[in-house]
A and B are shown apart, each in its own frame.
Chain A
Amino acid sequence: MTPVLEIRDLSVDYGQGEGAVHAVSSVNLVLNRGEVLGLAGESGSGKSTLAYAMTRLLPPPGIITGGEVLHHGRDKPAPVDVLGLSPKQLRSFRWNDIAIVFQGAMNSLNPVSTVASQLEDIYRAHRPEMSRAQRTKRSAELLRLVGISADRLGSYPHQLSGGMRQRVMIAMALALDPEIIIMDEPTTALDVVMQRQILEQMMRLREELGFSVLFITHDISLLVEFSDRIAIMYAGRIVEQAASEDMYRASSHPYSKGLLGSFPALHGPRRPLTGIPGSPPDMRSVPSGCPFHPRCPSAFDVCEREIPVLEKLSGTNGDSSRSVACWLNTPSLSGHPGVGAT
């Protein structure tokens, strides 16, 4: 697996000084070529902030206070730090290398312009060498790719349903054949039937075109089904990262376990649901030490004082791809034999 995007120690604040909210704290995350990486977490945990920051779209008062975002380009000899790109380089990076489908994006189409002309505009701006006929042809192809028939090319956004508008947004993201697509809650406003149609189409396109996806949602059951690996965020930090199946079958961090135990399952035997006591922290006053400690059923003395760092877990079954930020995995501290395969 080769990385395409590498986030190193990224921190983001909203505001400065005393009242600053640390929305993202020292996040390390790697997106590999061709994979779907799921990012889960509750409202306010910092998922969107992370997505905005890594694409340099963070609105004020958001400030990146540290870290780097390395892009390993398809045909570039060395990785480039996205945080250091000039405005011109950034424009090209955003469309050609990375594309984003944001939360509620379907409402951001231009209401007075047809679907086809909005797609053609992208080519006019970024592929000036294309002829008009080529632009039209390519736009129709794109819409067909996302499952919208060519007779809808002349439609205005209000003539399309929410699901169709969201597909148009995906078509726009795919327009310049980017290597990375970030989807922030792409289907949250849609019904489950439409959600599934869109996500399955996205996965087929991924097989065909080979892009990587960072898929952000609060619905972890959706991630288990659609992503290769899952990272879980709590209070601005990644608390666990593992292959989807490992996360689902045997998550290690107490928060991941609680989150997975909060979803009623539709199929299979009825499992007891555990939920999580308390409620997510107010990001203006995050608890000391492990931010999860006030809600954690396994918390012990160290948890309140020291922030656990995300560390590779060398499990007994050798799944080295898992990392967890929890003191339970430091045997000398917890008196536990290490959590590994429990």
Chain B
Amino acid sequence: MTGEVVLAARGVTKHFPVARKGRQVLTRQPRAVHAVDDVSFDLRRGHVTALVGESGSGKSTVARLLAQLYPLTSGDIVLNDVPTKVKRGKSFRAYCKQVQMIFQDPFASLNPVHTIRYHLTRALRVHHGRVKGEELEKGLASLLERVNLTPPERFLDKYPHELSGGQRQRVAIARALGADPTVLLADEPVSMLDVSIRLGVLNLLRDLKERLHLAILYITHDIASARYFADTTMVMYAGQVIEGGDSETVTQEPAHPYTQLLIRSAPDPERAHNGVPTVTTAPGEPPSLISPPPGCRFAPRCPYAAEKCRTATPPRFDLGESHYAACWLYDSKTTDEHPRRDTVEVGA
């Protein structure tokens, strides 16, 4: 494992309050969407960490919390070893200089009435003061070169709508780089792009990680892309991180029953030609996050669920080599209740 930890989540939790209707107002019980519960991980320099999960599992909320766009319900965000809470203003800008975010929709995140020059100039000035003249031109050109939009003068005076989706996403990345950040939070950066151009943007991110030694959080619902682009992969289910480890291990030897289901369900051209494609899937759907089930949130769908799973939340169990899973199957103390690990089907 390389690089020092720049940004870390420690027990990060976010509950969004929900309006109470009718009689619920009379009861004291506050209702909330448990969007993110007790999430902890580290982002290291020169390292891509993927956060994988279904829609609604809480990935974007984690990214927004790390970007300090929402206040936390509990837990800490630790920047360079210092627990950091910022609101608006100066401290927020100082935080953003280090931690930058890239969004899913490159069109929505660039203002259509302004040129690329305007967007990038602003990014440079916000973080580096009033650069102008030759210094500014140099800065702009170097930003575009870093995202492989060359020659820069072909792009500087264009408007967002004059660029393709992939080029717009590169501009959004260039803008984030304007701050000279150490951390890049990329929330589904390619899922709105055409298939043939996704690879180019992902390769660019990987290249930036290496050249600029960035810490990158890569959020995606596509676990196959995590295998290729991330050093570490974490899997989220219903607001919690349920497994994590080296990407190859998590995708090739998934330990948590949910990760196994996810991997078995992903499209797999290799499977097609070995007979009728049939994958037994767990019935049902992710639980409501307003009143999540007690214990393991996957228990209602899990083929291995035992009594304990329905009452006690499984902690992370260490599986070696920084691989972990939050599942009672891996608790060395409970053996009789469960099938043993080596009898659990792993992978497809």
Separation of A225 and B269 alpha carbons in the complex (Å): 5
Chain A residues numbered 222-268 whose CB sits less than 8 Å from any CB in chain B: 222, 224-226, 244-245, 248, 258-259, 262-268
Kindly report which residue of chain A lies nearest to residue B283, judged by CB atoms.
A197
How far apart are the CA atoms of A41 and B278 in the complex, in Å?
26
Measured in the bound complex, the distance between the Cα atoms of B282 and A109 in whole Å is 26
Q: B194–A266 contact, CB under 8 A?
A: no
With a cutoff of 8 Å between Cβ atoms, the chain B residues found around residue A195 in the complex are 265
Contact (A191, B281) CB under 8 Å given A43-B194, A270-B228, A279-B164: no
Chain A positions within 8 Å of B279 at CB level: 196, 200
* Residues of B contacting A258 in the complex (Cβ-Cβ under 8 angstroms): 196
| Proximity string of chain B (73-89) to chain A, C-beta cutoff 8 Å, 1 when within and 0 when not | 00000000000000000
Contact between B270 and A268 (Cβ–Cβ < 8 Å)? Answer: yes
A161 to chain B, nearest CB (A): 6
B55 in contact (CB, < 8 A): yes
B276 within 8 A of A: yes
B contact residues around A225 at 8 Å (CB): 267-269, 271-272, 277
Partner of A194, one of B197, B263, B285: B285
- Binary interface profile of B, 196-212, with partner A (CB < 8 Å = 1, else 0)? 11111001000000000
- B196 & A245 in contact (Cβ 8 Å cutoff): no
CA distance A226 to B267 in the complex (A): 9
Given contacts A222-B267, A226-B272, A266-B268, contact A196 B197 (CB under 8 A): no
Interface residue? A275 (CB, 8 A): yes
Establish whether residues A221 and B267, one from each chain, have CB atoms under 8 Å apart when the complex forms.
Answer: yes
Judged by a CB distance under 8 angstroms, whether A218 is at the interface is yes
Would you call B115 an interface residue if the criterion is a C-beta within 8 Å of the partner chain's C-beta atoms?
A: no
CB distance from B167 to the nearest CB of A (A): 7
Residues of B221-249 contacting chain A, CB below 8 A: 221-225, 227-229
Closest-CB distance, B169 to chain A (whole angstroms): 11
User: Is A192 in the interface zone, CB < 8 Å from B?
Assistant: yes
Q: Which residues of B contact A219 (CB under 8 A)?
A: 195, 267
Give A148 to B329 CA distance when docked, in angstroms: 31
Q: Is B196 a contact partner of A192 (Cβ separation < 8 A)?
A: no
Query: B203 to chain A: which residues have CB within 8 Å?
Result: 275
- Smallest Cβ distance from A104 to chain B, in angstroms? 15
B262 on the A face (CB < 8 A): yes
Q: Does the CB pair B196–A267 fall under 8 Å? A: no
**Is B55 touching A191 in the complex (CB atoms < 8 A)?**
yes
**Given A193-B262, A195-B265, A203-B277: A266 and B227 interface contact (C-beta under 8 Å):** yes
Instruction: Show the binding face of A for B, using Cβ within 8 Å.
Output: 42-43, 161, 163, 191-197, 200, 203, 218-222, 224-226, 244-245, 248, 258-259, 262-268, 270, 273-277, 279-280
Pairs A–B under 8 Å by Cβ, sample size 23? A42-B196, A192-B54, A193-B261, A193-B265, A196-B265, A200-B277, A203-B277, A218-B195, A219-B195, A224-B272, A245-B273, A258-B196, A259-B195, A264-B224, A264-B227, A264-B228, A264-B229, A266-B223, A267-B268, A273-B228, A276-B196, A276-B197, A279-B197
16 additional A-B residue pairs with CB within 8 Å, beyond A192-B267, A268-B270: A192-B266, A193-B261, A196-B281, A200-B281, A203-B276, A218-B194, A219-B195, A225-B269, A225-B271, A245-B273, A259-B196, A262-B198, A262-B199, A264-B224, A266-B251, A267-B270
In the A-B complex, the 8 residue pairs with the closest CB atoms = A275-B199, A224-B269, A276-B196, A264-B228, A279-B164, A225-B272, A266-B224, A191-B54
